[in-house]
Structures are given as C-alpha cells and as structure tokens.
Amino acid sequence: MAISLIKISRWLGETPDLGTCCTSNKINKWSLYKPINNISNTTLTDADYYDANFGYNLFTRSTPHQMVYSLQNQNSSTLWKYNDRTAPYRLTDFDGYVHGASNPFMLEFVNGNSGTANTSLKITCAYDLNNFIQRWKYFEGVRSYADVVAVFYKKGTMYDDTANRGIYVYKIASRVDDDIDSDKLSFIIPNISVDTYELRICITTATTGWTTGEWYNITDATTITGEWYALPPESTLTFNVNSSGGGGGGGGDQPSTDFFNYIDWTFSNLNYDWNEPYLSNINFRTRVMINESRETVRVSADLYYDNSARGPILIRSFSRTLDMQDIIYSYIDINYNDTITTMTGARLDDGILSIRIVGRITINGTMQTKTWNVNIEQ
C-alpha cells in the first residue's frame, strides 16, 4: 500500500507537513517502524532500524536495582523513550507504521500465575528475544553470552538508584547454551515467602557463571557484576506464591529418610572486619556436595546472622541443582559488606562466626526444610 502524507496526517491529527508528522508526539512509539534519526535521505533498511534500536533510547545499568529504578521512574528516566526526531525527514519511515500497535514485548503467563514453591510457571514474550539479542544494537559485543533472567520483588517495592534493598534474580536461559525460545521461558517459583510479586524479564551479562534455574536474593550489588539490559517498563507480570498447606508428595523414588543426609555442607575461607560492636565485610565459602546416588537433588538455603541489634540479617540466599552423574558439588562465595551492629561480642574475637541456615532440599518434587546453626572458624 502506498504511503500517503495525507493519510499519515489524518492518523496523527496533524497538518500534512512532513516535518510536522515525523516529529509529532502523537506517533505511537510501540510501532517498530516509524520515523527515526538517520542521516540518509533515502529509504531506510531493516538493518538501519536495528542499528538505531528502532528509535528507542536504550542504555544499560550496572545493577538490577538501578535497572528497576529506571523502569519505575519514567518521569525522570529516558530508558525506552522514543527519541525526538531531527532532519532529514523521510515519508518512507512510515512504511510499516501501525498506529494501533501495542508494546511488542508484552509478557504473559500461559499456565496460570500462582503456585507454591517449586511450581513451574511458563512465560511467553510477544517479541522474539533471539532476534532482539542478535540484531538490535543494544547488545553489540555481548550477544554471544548474554543471559535471559527474571528479576522479581514483592509487589509495591520501590527502588532507588542504589542497592538499598534486596531483589531476586533468577536465571532462565543462556545464549551460550542454545537459542532462547520466547514461547517457553520457564520460571520455577523459589522457596520465598507467601506474597504477591512483580516480575520483569531482562537480559544481563552478570549471571554467565550461573546454571539455568539458579537464583539469589541480591542484597549487596557488589556480589554480582555485569550489565543489565531492560525490556520496556510496561513489560511486567504479577505472580502469587501460595502456602503449601502441608501434605503432598508424588510417586517415584522418594526416600523416606531425611533428605539432608544426602548432602554434605562445608564452610571455609572466613574473613570479616570486627570493631565491637560493628561487624562488616563478611566473606566465606560454602560447598554443598551430594554424597549418595540420586538423579537430581535441588539444594537451596537462606543464611542469616542473628546476633544483630536490628534482628536477623539475611546474608545470602542460593540455590543449586546437583546430580551424581553430572554436577556433584558446588561452591558458593558468600559476601556481605554492609555493617551490622551486634548485640554481643559472641565469639567474634576468637575468629568464629555463627550463622543460621534455613535449608531446603527437593527430590522428585518433594521438598524438606531444616534449620540449624553452624560456627564457622577462620
């Protein structure tokens, strides 16, 4: 269909002037094909649109907290803003323009948006994420190893431009492994508190060492380094974590004994700064290792420091999948750099740190939980 300036002006409610129509604030930014900035006086190619990120102002942030802050504060952020246009103007930029287009990166749960811990939720994205990563200039230089992840947090949580509160990060897929199927993004609800959460899909280089399904509650941005690439601020989902209500358990090879007998936990490399009553820069390493033949064992844990004037402090959350035929152990580096005001000196003068562990082990869909304390020595 031939492009008509008269038709375009009527869609936009503007006078039939090329410059006026190309710079109109009534252009639907969600139409991928629309006027964009380019020095060419001739018809643009698809490659030109990809190289211009389809006219959107796209940039990265260095932490997931900063990224979500930018998305939550559109009045002050220009992330995913449709850039103002400058001459030269081309009527052919409207070839393929859809005045009624909606956000092409809309997300959807395809099998419901609620469940208990370990429930698998399926997510689809309207736009082809492989095409997004492989062709948009946004990912130049990182497209071969970028990961698709979910970041999520309790609904209503607002972030500022620093890592002043925790945010969950869950690795969904990796470009290193294979192509990413935008219709089959699998998210397994971690063992988190019963509540309603907001979820965003994004791309990052910060999780390349993680396995698919690995997740953490990131309370200290220095523990995770890389660049964060955002989908539009409107690309969000809400899901509910329900109470298990007890009972349950399927068939298969489900041991009747304590699941925790199948996992060995060791702790090493402890360091911290101690200037009574202030404790900071806690660092140590945890190793979880499967010690008996099981097809798949999912190990996750929350590590707390309880000797705090503010109540229990979450030091780190982690999750690992172990298998005697593949990955039999995993090391997790624990780093907590904030300052804790302690209630007592405990045994810190002796180089001993007491940590409370809330552990969860899942085998064949059945999960057991256990809480215990461990004294880690320097």
Could you give the domains of the chain?
A: 5-57+75-94 (no CATH), 107-241 (2.60.40), 259-377 (2.60.40)
What gap in Å lies between CA 343 and CA 234, rounded to an integer? 44
Relative to beta strand 185-188, strand 278-290 is unpaired
Please say whether the beta carbons of 215 and 190 come within 8 A.
Answer: yes
Cα-Cα-Cα-Cα torsion 26, 32, 33, 39, nearest 10 degrees, comes to 90
Q: Which helix (H) or strand (E) holds 301?
A: strand 297-305
Burial of 56-72, coded b for 16+ CB within 10 Å and e otherwise, reads bebebbebbbbbbbbbb
Per-residue pLDDT of the chain (378 residues; tens, 9 = 90+): 578 999 999 999 999 999 999 999 999 999 999 999 999 999 999 999 999 999 999 999 999 999 999 999 998 999 999 999 999 999 999 999 999 999 999 999 987 888 888 888 999 999 999 999 999 999 999 988 899 999 999 999 999 877 668 899 999 988 765 567 777 788 999 988 899 999 999 999 999 888 888 889 888 777 788 999 999 999 999 999 987 653 333 333 334 467 888 888 999 999 999 998 899 999 999 999 887 766 788 898 999 998 887 778 889 998 888 887 778 888 999 999 889 988 877 789 889 899 989 888 888 777 788 888 888 988
The answer, as to whether pTM is greater than 0.85, is no
